[in-house]
Amino acid sequence: MSHLRNLSKFSALIYASVVLLLAPAQTRAGDESGSGIVNSAQRAWVTSTGDVAGEPALWKIVLEGSIDPLVPGRSLMTGHEIRIIFPPEYDLGNIAATHPVADIPTFSPLFCVPTNFQCTTGLLLQGWPEHPYFPPAAWHVVSVDVAENAFVFTAVQDILSDPPENPGIKEVFVLLNGVQNPEAGEYPVRVEAQTGPGSSWETGSALLKVLPRPRPSINATAVFVKALSGLLDGGPACGPGTLPPNPDNPMFQRTTVNSPAPLVWSFLLWGRNEAALDDVALSWVNDGHAQIVRGPRVVGHVFIDAPHNAVGFGIDVNPLGCGTYMPAAPVIGGTPGVGPQPVGRLDMQFWAGDTPGTYTTTLKMNNGNTEQMVVIVE
């Protein structure tokens, strides 16, 4: 197992205190800069450029609340709306004709599936990648309100929060492939949603932080979950194994002491200037901290926030020996070769320690973003 075992409990305790200061346990990763019902606005994980000036605007609106699938999200009743109101710099009245507004899936005359970048569209997600209400045409339709410069989701049947199989709405993807991000800066976005008690309106806001160039990023994905867990017919495989909606949640798992988490973590990695970041490894500093390295260069860090006095926890890297470079990001599940960018891949399997509780792993890229993975140990 790829971690150190010989630290004293005293040393581990001292380091755990440092980790708590650097990477406190949270149910959300990233910049929690939202207000009201919005936790934050983040780049959609499907490319490295969704938040870059001059590139198609691909954003994820993270709603307030826990990613724990046992914690209810939001419901949206038939005929009611979630409205994402953009600032005037995002002119929804002038969406490129080459990328018209369309529901997913649309097969004719436009072929639009998640997310092959052929249309301007959106998805309502239940808190982890590749788990939208899908096909969205059966759950909601999308449209644009030009007068309010709003991207609108309207439920066509009741979307109910019924954990754990259906946790409710926790994230909103707005994939504005026909709209470019404006120049670098911060832009307010507002959410108005009929998701309150009795379908009352709730509101919130956040900042779209547009960057001048792509930054390094690490991005959790669930498309390999079944393949890496050996659940496909024929045994383990390294290719995509799950089409949306994917009920297997790698970001929030449960296991028992001294046991592996049931699902392997898979991450897509981009470095500076959209370069695929492959052949990375972990170099352990101590039980709770590893450097993400590529050759001699440190490109990021992993922090494990474990229960007090826990020992024996750790992470295996590349547990099935899959390749670490993909010529096309697997952005639409099991459909091969549609991803718009080459990307690096990093697979990990978390092992629980000897103490029950919450183990939160924070993965941070240097000059880049943050991902967080949670394992509840019983």
User: Where in the chain are the domains?
Assistant: 9-26+216-377, 35-210
Checking if the pLDDT of 6 tops 50, the result is no
Contact partners, residue 32, CB within 8 Å, separation at least 6: 26, 39, 40
Residue-wise pLDDT tens digits, 161-217: 988 878 999 999 999 999 999 999 999 999 999 999 999 999 999 999 999 999 999
pLDDT of residue 339: 62
Contact (CB, 8 A) for 80 and 194: yes
- 291: its two tokens: 């450097």
pLDDT of residue 128: 87
Residue-wise pLDDT tens digits, 41-85: 999 988 889 999 999 999 999 999 998 999 999 999 999 999 999
C-alpha to C-alpha distance for 348 and 46, rounded to whole angstroms? 20
Q: What is the mean pLDDT of the chain?
A: 86
- Percentage of the chain lying above the pLDDT 70 cut: 84
Residue-wise pLDDT tens digits, 323-346: 899 888 876 544 555 566 889 999
- 7: its two tokens: 């630290």
C-alpha to C-alpha distance for 355 and 136, rounded to whole angstroms? 41
C-alpha to C-alpha distance for 99 and 88, rounded to whole angstroms? 19
**Residue 360, beta-bridge partner list:** 305, 374
Residue-wise pLDDT tens digits, 243-268: 667 778 899 999 999 999 998 999 99
The total number of residues shown for the chain amounts to 378
pLDDT of residue 331: 67
Checking if the pLDDT of 286 tops 60, the result is yes
Contact (CB, 8 A) for 351 and 359: no
pLDDT of residue 334: 45
35-210 CATH pick, 3.30.1330, 2.60.40, 1.10.3470, 3.40.50:
2.60.40
By three-state DSSP, how is residue 65 classified?
coil
Pairs from 157-163 (Cβ < 8 Å, separation ≥ 24): 157/78, 158/75, 158/76, 158/77, 158/78, 159/75, 159/76, 159/77, 159/124, 159/133, 160/75, 161/72, 161/73, 161/74, 161/75, 163/69, 163/70, 163/71, 163/72
- Percentage of the chain lying above the pLDDT 90 cut: 66
Number of Cα atoms under 13 Å in the Cβ half of residue 243: 7
